[in-house]
Amino acid sequence: MDTAFDETVGLLRTSQTVAIGTETVYGLFGRADDPDAVARIFEAKGRPAFNPLIAHVSGLDMAERVGHFGRIERELIEAFWPGPFTLVTERLENGLASDLACAGLDTVAIRHAAAPFLSSVIRELEAPLAGPSANRSGHVSATNADAVQTDLDGLIPLIIDTGPCDEGIESTIVRVIEERVLILRPGSITADMIENAVGCPVFYPDAEDASIIAPGQMTSHYAPNSDVILNATSSEPGEIYLAFGATKKTVKGTAYSLSPSGDLREAAANLYSLLRKADSQNPVHILVAPIPDIGLGAAINDRLRRAAAPQR
């Protein structure tokens, strides 16, 4: 095995953390069954300890040492693992996810990512890895190794550069409740895909309950330092405009396109790196073009609304 692999495994065996790319975003990983490692993750990110982490596994066998799975959960796993898909399920007592990783909840979020380096590390350790997105808490997620470095330089011992992330937006998170699938966080596995795979209704948390069911889905999140304004169709010099499709003549400031051809997959893959690129220039505002709210567009708009929400 190569040096990067050995170094990663060595660090994780001694309660350290390592940032590694997945197909969604980069994660900051530590052993889910090791409270010291998990504490280091919270500390490096500046993340509040009430916000639980996802346990990343190498397959269903390992997942069954972390949580309980019913029929619908197994069908979802069959359809969407490995991939950008996370299941919140009842946590196994004395399972492989520590109390700290789960913020003391009796549920646990579990994901098998389609990420070859990460998966081989998990297989080698024979233990799940707790992993939030590898960014400063509340900030824009990182979709390449440079972005991880910008946010967490000096705070973590190792970043494995697995290249830019293909998907660019965090995994879909669901929980099965009474034969229905609750979407806690939209992602590239869409509501339609879920409905087609398991044939049961899909629903969203109502606004009042959302904070209780998904502790980390704060209103302000994924946020750049500059103010973000959505559904913009024009801009002024000093502002930066993120277009979807071709850039209009009404755009006077610097402009970048999330997808010149108006493709939602490409826009998702470019979203965080362009938000970071715009933000690094300290513009008066970052303006974003309207994004169609269909399919993957729902996940993009979810992240954009949070990026634009007033920061506390």
| Distance in Å, CB of 91 to ligand TXA, minimum | 8
Using CB distances below 5 to 8 A depending on partner kind, what does residue 215 bind out of ligand TXA, Mg ion, none?
A: ligand TXA
- Compare residues 85 and 241 and give the one whose CB is closer to ligand TXA: 85
Using CB distances below 5 to 8 A depending on partner kind, what does residue 152 bind out of Mg ion, ligand TXA, none?
A: none
Judge contact between 247 and 235, C-beta under 8 A: no
The closest residue (CB) to ligand TXA is 216
Local structure of residue 103 (DSSP, 8 states) = T
DSSP SS3 for 303: helix
Closest CA to 74 of 172, 205, 170, 176: 176
Binding residues (CB under 6 A) for ligand TXA: these are: 22, 24-25, 27, 51-54, 86, 88, 105, 107-109, 111, 113, 131-133, 170-171, 173, 184, 214-217
The pattern of x and - marking residues 87 through 126 that bind Mg ion according to CB under 5 A reads: ----------------------------------------
Q: Is 133 in the site for Mg ion (CB under 5 A)?
A: yes
| Distance in Å, CB of 44 to ligand TXA, minimum | 13
- Compare residues 133 and 270 and give the one whose CB is closer to Mg ion: 133
Using CB distances below 5 to 8 A depending on partner kind, what does residue 168 bind out of Mg ion, ligand TXA, none?
A: none
Using CB distances below 5 to 8 A depending on partner kind, what does residue 22 bind out of Mg ion, ligand TXA, none?
A: ligand TXA
The closest residue (CB) to Mg ion is 133
The span from the CA of 119 to the CA of 160, in Å, is 13
State the greatest distance between any 2 C-alpha atoms of the chain, in Å, as a whole number: 60
For residue 265, what are the CA distances in angstroms to 135, 189, 258, 259? Answer: 22, 12, 10, 9
- Give the containing element (helix H, strand E) for 19: strand 18-21
| Distance in Å, CB of 28 to ligand TXA, minimum | 8
Sorted by sequence, the CB contacts under 8 Å of residue 129 that are 6+ apart come out as 12, 27, 29, 30, 31, 32, 55, 56, 118, 121, 122
| Distance in Å, CB of 141 to Mg ion, minimum | 6
Q: Is 144 in the site for Mg ion (CB under 5 A)?
A: no
CA dihedral 108, 184, 130, 27 (to 10 degrees): 170
- Compare residues 51 and 254 and give the one whose CB is closer to ligand TXA: 51
The span from the CA of 176 to the CA of 48, in Å, is 26
Q: Is 17 in the site for Mg ion (CB under 5 A)?
A: no
Give strand pairing partners of 159: 19
Which residues would be at the binding site for Mg ion (CB under 5 A)?
Answer: 133
